[in-house]
Amino acid sequence: MLTRVWGVEPGYTSPVAVETTHIPDPAAGPESVRVAAAGDVHANEEIRDELMAAFAAIDREADVILLAGDLTTHGEPEQAAVLAEACRGLETPTVAVLGNHDVHAGRAAEVVEVLVDGGIRVLDGATTVCAGVGIAGAKGFVGGFRGTHLPDFGEPSLRALYAETTGEVEALDRGLREIALCPYRVVLLHYAPTWETLEGEPREIWTFLGTDRLQAPIVEHRPDLVLHGHAHAGRFRSDVDGIPVFNVSVPVMGRDFWVFELTGSALPSTPIR
Ligand SMILES: [Mn+2]
């Protein structure tokens, strides 16, 4: 269903600026960090050269590279090896979550092993900290949006699906608690937490492209930035309760990576009367 387009336009010179709640400390070094992001890279042997070139070009252009799932075309370890090779030796740390394509072959554990061997940190309901950026990463799952939710009712298979999404929501909540004290906090997902970045995809399949159940921990913990992929025909930019959400699927961006610059913004002082 999802056709991959590898964007070639370099766009590293005009990052999207994201103001954060971080209070800058001049003594603590740089006041901003650059996050490069891409989803739905869909590595395989045929695009080896483009992939190598794209990752070589983004290296050192950002403080961290985030990959929002669908790292491979069909979840074969050989495909993951192509991405691992592109990332091996990069100076910029790379962090990824898996997508549905990466679990398709039933070999997700091997895929993760290959990626880790290439130096990629794979988060499956877990967290990591790179360059002061706390990252809570999970694949997420399906479930729909207000008015179209899959119910927790009836057949065991349907209820198991609901429970699997519950597990993703709980993992995201735990992750955001773990990184609560990081200066910058980013959520990395494959599935969409809002329908607003799905606009462009057929409305009939939105329930299978994500769920607003993922919004609960986002609204509670208020990370600085939320990134997802999966919806190749969706929309780039939206928000959840004012928190910026970007669909960084490569076909949506029309380029290899997008760079987000997270900048500390001193909170305004309370006027004293
Ligand atoms: Mn996907």
CA of 25 to the centre of ligand 1 (A): 39
How many distinct structural domains can be found in the chain?
1
CA of 100 to the centre of ligand 1 (A): 5
CA of 270 to the centre of ligand 1 (A): 45
CA of 11 to the centre of ligand 1 (A): 24
Quickly state the pLDDT bin for 30 (edges 50, 70, 90).
low
Residues with Cβ within 8 Å of 273's Cβ and at least 6 positions away in sequence, in order, are none
CA of 26 to the centre of ligand 1 (A): 41
CA of 249 to the centre of ligand 1 (A): 9
Quickly state the pLDDT bin for 9 (edges 50, 70, 90).
very low
Whether 13 shows a pLDDT value over 60: the answer reads no
Predicted confidence at residue 195, as pLDDT, reads 98
Whether 198 is covered by a domain: the verdict is yes
Q: Taking a C-beta distance cutoff of 8 angstroms, is the pair 148, 199 a contact?
A: no
Whether 203 is covered by a domain: the verdict is yes
Predicted confidence at residue 249, as pLDDT, reads 97
CA distance 139 to 99: 6
CA of 223 to the centre of ligand 1 (A): 23
In the chain, the percentage of residues whose pLDDT exceeds 90 is 84
CA distance 60 to 100: 29
Range of the domain at 164: 32-264
CA of 247 to the centre of ligand 1 (A): 12
CA of 266 to the centre of ligand 1 (A): 37
CA of 215 to the centre of ligand 1 (A): 19
CA of 72 to the centre of ligand 1 (A): 10
Q: β-strands 64-68, 225-228: how paired?
A: unpaired
CA distance 107 to 85: 19
Q: Taking a C-beta distance cutoff of 8 angstroms, is the pair 173, 180 a contact?
A: no
Amino acid found at 212: D
Q: What is the DSSP string of 136-176?
A: EE------B-TT-PPPS-SSHHHHHHHHHHHHHHHHHHHHH
Whether 6 is covered by a domain: the verdict is no
Q: Taking a C-beta distance cutoff of 8 angstroms, is the pair 95, 128 a contact?
A: yes
CA of 244 to the centre of ligand 1 (A): 21
Whether 84 is covered by a domain: the verdict is yes
CA of 189 to the centre of ligand 1 (A): 10
| Cβ count near 169 (within 10 Å) | 22
CA of 70 to the centre of ligand 1 (A): 5
Amino acid found at 233: A
CA distance 78 to 83: 9
pLDDT (average), residues 183-195: 97
CA distance 269 to 266: 9
pLDDT, one tens digit per residue, over 103-144 is: 999 999 999 999 999 999 999 999 999 998 999 999 999 999
CA of 143 to the centre of ligand 1 (A): 14
Whether 109 is covered by a domain: the verdict is yes
For position 124, which CATH number holds? 3.60.21.10
pLDDT, one tens digit per residue, over 136-182 is: 999 999 999 999 999 999 999 999 999 999 999 999 999 999 999 99
pLDDT (average), residues 56-71: 97
Whether 153 is covered by a domain: the verdict is yes
Predicted confidence at residue 187, as pLDDT, reads 98
CA of 1 to the centre of ligand 1 (A): 10
Q: pTM of the prediction?
A: 0.92
pLDDT, one tens digit per residue, over 214-251 is: 999 999 999 999 999 999 999 999 999 999 999 999 99
Whether 7 is covered by a domain: the verdict is no
Whether 4 shows a pLDDT value over 80: the answer reads no
Whether 53 is covered by a domain: the verdict is yes
